[in-house]
Amino acid sequence: MQIQNDKDLRGIKQIGELCGLTLKLMLDSAEPGMSTKHLDDIGREFLQQHGAASAPITAYKFPGYTCISLNDEAAHGIPREDRIIQAGDLLNVDVSAVLDGYWGDTGASVIVPPSRPELEHLLDSTRKALYLSIDMARPGQQANAIGKAVEKFAKRNGYRTLRELGGHGVGRHIHEKPSIPNYYNKRNKDVLEDGMVITLEPFLNTGRGRIKTEDDGWTLRTVDGSLSAQFEHTVIINGDNPILATQVDGGYV
């Protein structure tokens, strides 16, 4: 969507902040021995307390209020009672929600202590890739130029991007035009415009950069057991000063 008036701006900021706060609460709460279903319940209760609905449930009937992925699960992990968080796990939580007709989307990866230097490097590089893309998010910028820069940055740091996953328009629905790939796609002619609401979300991968869909129909897992990290903001294109609608104090993104 594109921001048309103050109501739109307030609506995106409101749902963006709520998604950001939900993500922070969930990642603050995650600990070894907790099931991903329990962690999802924490997010569900917080969203419901604030009158918001889960975007993946509303849009796609996803079997969880949020997406929670562990280790070689790259994205769209289903929260389950028997999926237990372990010390040393690489944990990704993706929170998207809708409130008063406005949709927001954010996500982040963390290491459940104890950490490892190679995982810290993966997370640090992925976060830097996100802010590289945010720095480029200006009116007139081509989406494929952002993808080219993210892919080049990933390779320079020893990683590949996941080509099947990337940023997208958001605001009136969870997935809208334009597409913001994390690689150079010469066929993508989309250009960013002032007021446009998008997500930027690099996925950096330690292996071949390929994923497959599990038998559950949702979970995306790397084909070679490699690890991936993701950081995501909902961004409003705003001249030379993009607005990070999902950024909150003390957040992980």
Q: How many CB atoms lie within 10 A of CB 178?
A: 18
Q: Note the pLDDT of residue 122.
A: 98
Average pLDDT over residues 170-175: 98
Q: How many CB atoms are closer than 10 A to CB 34?
A: 16
pLDDT classification of 244: cutoffs 50, 70, 90: very high
Q: What is the DSSP secondary-structure string of the chain? A: -B--SHHHHHHHHHHHHHHHHHHHHHHHH--TT-BHHHHHHHHHHHHHHTT-EEHHHHHH--SSSSEEEETTEEE-PPP-TT-B--TT-EEEEEEEEEETTEEEEEEEEEEPSSP-HHHHHHHHHHHHHHHHHHHH--TT-BHHHHHHHHHHHHHHTT-EE-TT--EEE-SSSSSEEEEE-SS--TT---B--TTBEEEE--EEESSS--EEE-TTSS-EEETTS--EEE-BEEEE--TTS-EETT--TT---
pLDDT of residue 216: 97
What band does 160 get if pLDDT is binned at 50, 70 and 90?
A: very high
Q: 23: pLDDT confidence band, cut at 50, 70 and 90?
A: very high
Q: Do 190 and 145 touch, CB atoms closer than 8 A? A: no
- Confidence bin at 146 (pLDDT 50/70/90): very high
Strand partners, 39: none
Mean per-residue pLDDT, 211-237:
98
Q: Please give the share of the chain, as a percent, with pLDDT higher than 70.
A: 100
pLDDT single digits (tens) 82-121: 999 999 999 999 999 999 999 999 999 999 999 999 999 9
Domains recognised in the chain with CATH numbers: 6-244 (3.90.230.10)
Contact status, residue 234 vs residue 170, Cβ threshold 8 Å: yes
**pLDDT, mean of residues 162-188:** 96
Rounded to two decimals, what is the model's pTM?
0.97
**Cβ atoms of 141 and 191 closer than 8 Å:** yes
Q: Tell me what pLDDT residue 192 has.
A: 98
